[in-house]
A and B are shown apart, each in its own frame.
Chain A
């Protein structure tokens, strides 16, 4: 249990993505392929959202001006931050007389990225369904094998 619970989100993501991928590649029905595509994209969206989530944390709106700093600390990469320069620290202290607790701030970037990805996903699904409809008008079938047979006739 202790192995599973902290990684629960990743397990769900992997299951969703594999379901979607299998449906996209192995199903012969065009609509099922479209559904698989949507599930695959949902898995990725969930992955991004879950890496940006944090317990008991709120949106990073800080009263004093430079927002970038708080964001940078809220999502500091391990060991990649350059060593703090003294003048930088002084500038920080001046900008933030009362620095917010970075553990209480989430990184909003993942959600913004996923808003874009959702739009892209909806557009792709729309084009996919439109194409499937056009195929159905031509061949009177959604089944890939029947369509192939129809084409080679």
Chain B
């Protein structure tokens, strides 16, 4: 049974999506439990697998039994999925956050998408399938297919929102399709030169014989630019803020933490495994450009977040700057930078998830999340407010939380590489996030609402329903737990995911 766990991670939510869509014709109420069940199976199998990786090494699973072929010089024919140190962690993060978000989403979906829950949950599950597929697959064309599965369901999920959501989603569709097409074109270039699409085979063929090939270089650039436009990296970030701001609460809470982070993983996989870090060190021009762009991304995201008053839009601009952290860390191409980037993929998934869940709770009760309307939030929704403060502390990088450790590694890596502009951008971004935290505290804690106005003796407690509040609190506490578990995560997983012989 356990040998089939890898495929179960993807298959359970896929079957969940199919059955949720089919049964919704007869019993609309059943679709939510089915999706929840599929996600739970996926979550359990991924957690089981992650802890198996340090014990038994990288786990490979050959679809249809088409594994290494003896008469084909031990090349892998067919599609292979594998769980190793790099994607194991991300699989666990994606499945856990997806499960918690599914539980969390139920009251908001009931309110915002009356009568459409069944379609929504089928799409929800399909999106998770796409994200998990990107993470687990061992084949670069298969990665494209899963990328499009995730993208197509996310266009639909985002377009469920009101008013401006449709147009925002359309813009996302144009940018997303362009990114995916560039990626596919890059895959074509790689395939022409290497004759295979399997990541394991490519990781041997490219360093062996294609380091000086022009076509392989063009393929690399196309794939990276495609991944960048999928993850909303600086010049291509325009679609993200509107698309996520006007989306339904549940769609935002699922997409914002996961979709961009999984694209970062795809970039890391291409950089570390397929082309190897030596390739990046060998081409310093793109390295310089990528580092410069990530510095600009961090600054642009942070400064724009200062100008906004809608809490959700602020969070969206945070994503733009956090993407800059990860891309920059990866392109530093030294051990601490890469450790920081990989750690930050997991940490930022949790942080973004927490902040979008908190904002969802606020919207559920107050109808909106405008900074000016948050008067006395602490007195009305204490748990939500504390979760918000913990999340903001993590985003700033206050020590026991996970945000501190990723920033620690990133700054260490940047200092080692001598990329001081990146260090300065990281520090400025922290300062700006601290400014926003103090602004929130100023409004939500210091302005005590007047209870006498409503004729009440005390200020009424208006927490969101427990099904929303518990996942929010869990993710917020998870930020601290992740921070405390940094040592284990880094030494047991992330350090082993790095290629040997890196400049340490």
A binds B: yes
Residues of A within 8 A of B (CB): 17, 21, 24-25, 30, 33, 37, 40-41, 44, 47-48, 51, 66, 68-69, 71-72, 75-82, 88, 91-92, 95, 109-110, 113, 116-117, 120, 123-124, 127-128, 131-132, 134-135, 138-139, 147, 151
- CB proximity to A under 8 Å, residues B136-159: 141, 144-145, 148, 151-152, 155-156, 159
**CB-CB under 8 A for A128 and B72, given A48-B188, A78-B193:** no
**How many angstroms between the C-alpha atoms of A112 and B184 in the bound complex?**
14
Given contacts A80-B205, A127-B156, A68 and B173 within 8 Å (CB-CB): no
11 A-B residue pairings within 8 Å (CB atoms): A24-B174, A40-B181, A68-B77, A75-B195, A95-B71, A116-B141, A131-B159, A131-B166, A138-B163, A139-B167, A147-B167
- B73 in the interface (beta carbon within 8 A): yes
Nearest-neighbour CB distance to chain A for B369, whole angstroms, equals 20
Q: Using A47-B185, A109-B197 as known contacts, list a sample of 18 further A-B pairs with CB atoms less than 8 Å apart, ordered by residue number in A.
A: A17-B185, A44-B188, A51-B192, A72-B73, A77-B194, A78-B209, A80-B210, A82-B73, A92-B71, A110-B191, A116-B145, A120-B144, A120-B148, A124-B151, A124-B152, A127-B173, A131-B170, A131-B173
Contact (Cβ within 8 A) A44 B181: yes
- The answer to whether B170 and A24 have CB atoms under 8 Å apart is no
B101 within 8 A of A: no
A146 to chain B, nearest CB (A): 11
Cα-based distance from A4 to B174 in the complex (angstroms): 32
B209: which A residues are within 8 A, CB to CB? 77-80
CB-based contact A77/B71 at 8 Å: no
Contacts of B77 in A (CB 8 A): 68
Give chain A nearest CB distance to B167 CB in angstroms. 5
Q: Residues of A contacting B170 with CB < 8 Å? A: 30, 128, 131-132, 135
A residues near B177, Cβ cutoff 8 Å: 24, 37, 40-41, 124, 128
Q: Determine whether B447 belongs to the interface, using a CB cutoff of 8 Å to chain A.
A: no
Nearest-neighbour CB distance to chain A for B3, whole angstroms, equals 24
Taken residue by residue from 54 to 82, chain B's Cβ proximity to chain A (1 for < 8 Å, 0 otherwise) reads as 00000000000000011111010100000
- Indicate if the CB atoms of B156 and A68 lie closer than 8 Å: no
Q: Which chain B residues border A33 with CB–CB below 8 Å?
A: 174
Choose among A51, A66, A123 the residue that contacts B188 (Cβ–Cβ < 8 A): A51
B185 lies within 8 A of A77 (CB)? no
Q: Which residue of A lies closest to B170 (CB)?
A: A131
Task: Please state if A123 and B167 are interface contacts (CB–CB under 8 Å).
Answer: no
CA distance A29 to B448 in the complex (A): 50
Once A44-B188, A47-B185, A116-B145 are accepted as A-B contacts, the answer to whether A135 and B73 lie under 8 Å apart by CB is no
Q: Which residues 195-243 in B have Cβ within 8 Å of A in the complex?
A: 195-197, 205, 208-210
Q: A24-B178, A68-B77, A131-B170 are in contact. Are A44 and B145 (CB under 8 A)?
A: no
Q: When the two chains form their complex, are residues A68 and B72 in contact, meaning their CB atoms are under 8 A apart?
A: yes
Interface size on B, residues (CB 8 A): 41
Q: Which of B101-147 contact A (CB under 8 A)?
A: 141, 144-145
Interchain CB contact under 8 A, A77 and B193: yes
Q: How far is the CA of A79 from the CA of B213 in the complex (A)?
A: 12
Smallest beta-carbon distance B228→chain A, Å:
16
Distance in angstroms from A139 CB to nearest chain B CB is 8
B71 touches A44 (CB 8 A): no
Task: Let me know if A88 and B71 touch, CB within 8 A.
Answer: yes
Collect the chain A residues with CB atoms within 8 Å of residue B178's CB. 21, 24-25, 37, 40
Nearest first, the 3 closest Cβ-Cβ pairs linking A and B are A77-B195, A68-B72, A131-B170
Chain B residue numbers with a CB within 8 Å of A76 are 195
- For A66, give its contact among B71, B163, B194 (CB under 8 Å): B71
Identify the interface centre among B75, B170, B191, B210: most chain A CB within 10 Å of its CB. Answer: B170
**Chain A residue nearest in CB terms to B66:** A68
For A25, A77, A88, which residue has the most chain B Cβ atoms within 10 angstroms?
Answer: A77
Interfacial chain A residues near B144, Cβ < 8 Å:
117, 120
State the Cβ distance, A11 to closest chain B Cβ, in Å: 15
B75, A72: Cβ atoms closer than 8 Å: yes
In this complex, which of B155, B184, B194 has the most chain A Cβ atoms within 10 angstroms of its Cβ? B184
Q: A77-B209, A82-B73 are in contact. Are A151 and B164 (CB under 8 A)?
A: yes
Give the shortest distance, in Å, between A137 (CB) and chain B (any CB).
9
Cα separation A134 to B71 with both chains bound (whole Å): 54
Residues of B within 8 A of A81 (CB): 73
B352 within 8 A of A: no
Which residues of the other chain, A, contact B196 by a CB distance below 8 angstroms? 77
A44 x B184 contact (CB < 8 A) = yes
Interchain nearest-CB distance for A17 vs B (Å): 8
- Whether the Cβ atoms of A91 and B71 lie closer than 8 Å is yes
A66 to B75, CA, bound (A): 14
Q: How far is the CA of A128 from the CA of B171 in the complex (A)?
A: 10
Taking the closest CB of chain A, its distance from the CB of B145, in whole angstroms, is 6
The residue of chain B having its C-beta at the shortest distance from the C-beta of A48 within the complex is B188
| CB of B429 within 8 Å of the partner chain | no
Q: How far is the CA of A113 from the CA of B142 in the complex (A)?
A: 9
| B184 closest partner in A (C-beta) | A44
Closest beta carbon of chain B to A87's beta carbon, Å: 10
A77 and B173 within 8 A (CB): no
Q: Which residues of A contact B141 (CB under 8 A)?
A: 113, 116
CA distance A11 to B39 in the complex (A): 47
Distance (Å) between the CB of A38 and the closest chain B CB? Answer: 10
What residues of A have a CB within 8 angstroms of the CB of B181 in the complex?
40-41, 44
Interfacial chain B residues near A82, Cβ < 8 Å:
73
- Which residues of chain B come closer than 8 Å to A80, judged between CB atoms? 194-195, 205, 208-210
A90-B263 Cα distance, complex, nearest whole Å: 45
Evaluate whether A124 and B173 lie within 8 angstroms (CB atoms) in the complex, with A72-B73, A80-B208, A134-B159 already known: yes
Distance of A71 Cα from B75 Cα, bound (Å):
12
- Whether B167 pairs with A151 at a CB distance below 8 angstroms is yes
A69-B72 in contact (CB<8A): yes
